[in-house]
């Protein structure tokens, strides 16, 4: 899918396709699948998956396209093929999914790799074992009420920036960009606006001055305000990723678990990794239409043809084989060292935050 670039308020901005916006609106109208309450499957979690019990995977926002492989693997029957009984819980936020796993309500998290670094800095060992995304897919947008007033990162001083939740990847993105522009983290405040309809409404109605958003929320906002929003930074493309993080790979969505759980359930974790790897291979070898046909009906918002085109565009940002790269994990660590005071200059053993052994 080819994006048309236009110059808007001093910044090259990708023109969101009308078709993507239409799908995004449909997805927003449908809403996210209801999440099972954390702890509901306590008996399954207690089993740990090692003895054939159910493995509960908490997803940091199941309808967000960044986590599509986690659901697609279930739809394709790949978890079952590998002999693992998987339950997916939509916890509608990466930090919430992490919290549920640390608290014992889930076994595995479908969340962002950076959480493994954050937790090691707090002396809690978790490890990622299969990568799904090569970019965080974030965009820092200006709320319509401030267009023409906020043109650069420096203009965010004294402003309120919306993020999905404090401590989330969106929050870290703001902090990283402030530091990169020689500003203090306290120069801009952050407010939790969640994702989906709540995030779109917060930006559209001017509850925040700017916000970090993901797809399909960016396209929903574009459709609602009737024009392209001002974009300050955008890592939805390889060009933007290199400009912001100076890397071609920034591991994002992945499966991770407590290191102790992995050590006790290596066979189960390897089966999960294989299922995701097979899913990534399926995505790489099939069209957006074929993939859309396998996803839950509600995810398409009533129009599979449009949904298919969104997925086709997504394919470029996904891992092809599920492995982490040295450059990629180093780039994420550098981001955390700059953006996260809890990490800062602490010694982080990256070899303990991820493994490629289970996906090979």
For residue 303, give the CATH number of its domain: 3.40.190.10
Clarify whether residues 169 and 225 are in a common domain.
yes
Clarify whether residues 131 and 254 are in a common domain.
yes
What is the average pLDDT across 6-17? 37
Clarify whether residues 256 and 348 are in a common domain.
yes
The string of pLDDT tens digits covering residues 175-204 is 999 999 999 999 999 999 988 788 999 999
- The three-class DSSP label of residue 339 is helix
What global pTM score does this model have?
A: 0.81
Q: Is residue 205 included in any domain, yes or no? A: yes
Clarify whether residues 258 and 216 are in a common domain.
no
Element (H, E) at 187: none
Q: Is residue 31 included in any domain, yes or no? A: no
Clarify whether residues 115 and 255 are in a common domain.
yes
End-to-end CA distance of the chain: 31
What is the average pLDDT across 123-133? 97
Domain count, the chain: 2
Clarify whether residues 263 and 284 are in a common domain.
yes
Q: Which residue has the tokens 């053993």?
A: 349
Here the tokens at position 108 are 């595995």
Clarify whether residues 127 and 48 are in a common domain.
yes
Cα three-residue angle 111-117-120, rounded to 5 degrees: 115
Which domain-ending residue is among 182, 207, 234? Answer: 234
What is the average pLDDT across 278-298? 94
Element (H, E) at 133: none
What is the average pLDDT across 46-57? 68
Q: Is residue 357 included in any domain, yes or no? A: no
Clarify whether residues 254 and 131 are in a common domain.
yes
Clarify whether residues 171 and 313 are in a common domain.
no
pLDDT given for residue 27 in this prediction: 38
Q: Is residue 7 included in any domain, yes or no? A: no
Clarify whether residues 272 and 126 are in a common domain.
yes
Clarify whether residues 125 and 148 are in a common domain.
no
Q: Is residue 279 included in any domain, yes or no? A: yes
Q: Is residue 11 included in any domain, yes or no? A: no
What is the average pLDDT across 133-143? 93
Clarify whether residues 108 and 146 are in a common domain.
no
pLDDT > 70? residue 41: no
Average pLDDT, the chain: 85
Do residues 181 and 140 make contact, with C-beta atoms less than 8 angstroms apart? no
Residue 152's domain spans which residues? 138-234
Percent share of the chain, pLDDT over 70: 84
Higher per-residue confidence, 45 vs 336 = 336
Point out the least confidently predicted range of 91-100, 150-159, 244-253, 345-354: 91-100
Q: Is residue 243 included in any domain, yes or no? A: no
Q: How far apart are CA 20 and CA 324, in angstroms?
A: 29
Which domain-ending residue is among 201, 234, 267? Answer: 234
pLDDT given for residue 238 in this prediction: 84
Do residues 210 and 141 make contact, with C-beta atoms less than 8 angstroms apart? yes
Q: Is residue 6 included in any domain, yes or no? A: no
The CA distances from residue 233 to 14, 190, 245, in Å, are 11, 17, 11
């Amino acid at each position: 899918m080819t994006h048309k670039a236009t110059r808007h308020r001093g910044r090259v901005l990708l023109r969101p396709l009308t078709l993507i916006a239409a799908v995004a609106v449909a997805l927003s109208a449908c809403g996210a699948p209801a999440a099972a309450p954390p702890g509901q499957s306590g008996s399954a979690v207690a089993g740990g998956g090692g003895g054939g019990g159910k493995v509960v995977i908490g997803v940091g926002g199941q309808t967000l396209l960044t986590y599509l492989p986690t659901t697609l693997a279930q739809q394709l029957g790949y978890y079952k093929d590998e002999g693992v009984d998987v339950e997916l819980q939509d916890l509608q936020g990466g930090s919430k999914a992490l919290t549920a796993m640390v608290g014992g309500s889930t076994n595995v998290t479908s969340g962002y790799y950076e959480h493994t670094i954050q937790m090691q800095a707090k002396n809690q060992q978790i490890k990622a074992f299969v990568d799904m995304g090569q970019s965080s897919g974030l965009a820092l947008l200006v709320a319509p009420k401030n267009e023409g007033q906020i043109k650069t990162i420096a203009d965010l001083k004294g402003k309120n920036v919306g993020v999905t939740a404090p401590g989330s990847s969106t929050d870290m993105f703001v902090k990283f960009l402030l530091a990169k522009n020689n500003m203090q983290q306290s120069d801009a405040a952050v407010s939790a606006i969640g994702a989906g309809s709540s995030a779109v409404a917060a930006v559209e109605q001017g509850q925040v001055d700017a916000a970090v958003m993901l797809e399909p929320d960016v396209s929903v906002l574009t459709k609602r305000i009737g024009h392209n929003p001002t974009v300050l930074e955008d890592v939805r493309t390889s060009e933007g990723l290199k400009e912001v993080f100076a890397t071609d790979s920034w591991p994002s969505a992945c499966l991770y678990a407590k290191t102790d759980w992995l050590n006790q359930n290596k066979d189960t974790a390897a089966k999960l990794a294989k299922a995701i790897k097979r899913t990534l291979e399926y995505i790489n070898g099939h069209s957006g239409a074929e993939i859309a046909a396998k996803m839950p009906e509600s995810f398409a918002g009533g129009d599979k043809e449009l949904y298919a085109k969104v997925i086709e565009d997504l394919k470029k940002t996904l891992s092809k084989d599920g492995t982490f790269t040295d450059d990629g994990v180093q780039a994420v660590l550098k981001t955390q060292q700059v953006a996260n005071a809890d990490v800062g200059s602490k010694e982080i053993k990256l070899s303990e935050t991820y493994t490629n052994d289970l996906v090979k």
